[in-house]
Structure 1
């Protein structure tokens, strides 16, 4: 999960280049539903038909941030797009923002909807949540797609760690002109909670973490994706892949030596536009469809 504080102007320019529809949406009736999950009124939308795929957004985002990529996935899957705790149309509750707790929320939703085993696809914060769903609830997960997600805090570039340390409610006023803020207030049940959300995100980003041991025990085949100009070097994604058993030997002329997991470094992209790039879905689909 990442929100640069000193580089707000750069972030805004990135979002404007994508089109503000990725975040800012006019007020409208919610097209989805709510489930009572772990004290939350957890918002979710269902798009398409077929095998279930749970789609998880990044920090300060919502289901709408995937735009056309959600539609592309829904051509092949029953996509359950979730607004995580305190994001989008899911109001916050009195508990920390934690990938572990949010993973339990997603697992409870999978059970609530009687999906059986689902594929789980997450970007940034959502990627961390997806990872922990796979670790804590392996019986509910078929495959994982994890995009632009560090599994160890010290993998972030030093300047990113410094910026993360400055995220708090004091940034709320500065953000009022950004598509992120405008998108939040357009759909949030309590728009006045935005400063509190920034504080919670800032507190969460200051917590050290290292999921190396958990990744090594992961059962679900996993596609690790990162932009080639992400918040961490491409070598971190390679390390992630290695913990999944990848990169240990030649795959063989017939592919018999390939690991069950996959790695993709997406060229010409950054953390701020990878989620909207059609390349993300075009790479993920063959992995998700393999063996089905």
Structure 2
């Protein structure tokens, strides 16, 4: 079996990917990773950086002795996977991203971070605040949200995936986005697809940004099919 690493999105956790892991475990050696500060992982004193998440993946690969793996990255997890691929392409067989925001600018970061005010979230969306509190215990979900906003602003100023770096990636990549995603547009996904030399574009009908929008069995089949198409089977001659 080949290795498959599942990466969660911003404010998410590895536990959120357990249903997908179960759906894929008969076909791959499936691993999940919790980024620094997420899902109860130790929370750094300094704000998050995308490079820190890249290092999280590298450390995990070393700890699990995974020389090479396929990666599924949801939202921020997809950005981290491709950022890793720019720096260490030999460690990755293929990448499937879902709902990943590629086009970061100062304006885009400002728009996204307006939604990441923990006091307003607690006041206006208390159920979501409670979900975050439970997801990240014993860490402070408010600090995690502030760290995430800081990382987004940093990406707005210095994105890792650009018109210069994306064309360097020769590995197979599938970029998927929902046609009703209110955080990631089809147009910016198309921008990344056109820059990636070996990419496939997938627009999922009736799909919004949250991971749970897409049924697990359907998503697992998309991943299975993509990896199957990128894996070269040995030719048997008689």
Q: TM-score, normalised by structure 1?
A: 0.69
> What is residue 195 of structure 2 aligned with on the other side?
243
RMSD of Structure 2 on Structure 1 (CA): 2.5
Counterparts of 1:103 and 1:166 in 2: how far apart (Å)? 24
Decide whether the 8 Å contact of 2:73 with 2:96 is kept in 1. yes
Question: Are 2:69 and 1:91 aligned?
Answer: no
Partner of 1:111: 62
> CA 1:173/1:150 → structure 2, altered by over 3 Å: closer, same or farther?
closer
Higher helix share: 2
CA–CA distance in structure 1, aligned partners of residues 203 and 128 of structure 2: 27
The change in CA–CA distance for 1:151 and 1:197 in structure 2 (over 3 A counts) is same
Q: 1:233 aligns with which of 175, 178, 185?
A: 185
* Structure 1 gaps, min length 5: 1-49, 246-259
Which residue of structure 1 aligns with residue 223 of structure 2? 284
Which residue in 1 is equivalent to 2:205? Answer: 267
Question: How many aligned residue pairs are there?
Answer: 225
Match of 1:199 among 146, 158, 171: 146
Structure 1, 211-220 or 268-277: larger mean CA deviation: 268-277
Q: Structure 1 residues 275 and 141 mapped into 2: Cα distance closer, same or farther (>3 Å)?
A: farther
Relative to the length of structure 2, the TM-score reads: 0.83
Partner of 1:178: 127
Q: Cα distance 1:289–1:155, how it changes in 2: closer, same or farther (>3 A)?
A: farther
8 Å contact 1:62–1:83 — kept in the other structure?
yes
Aligned to 1:168: 117
| Deviation readout 1:273-292 (Å, 9 max, x if unpaired) | 46643332222211112224
Match of 1:65 in 2: 16
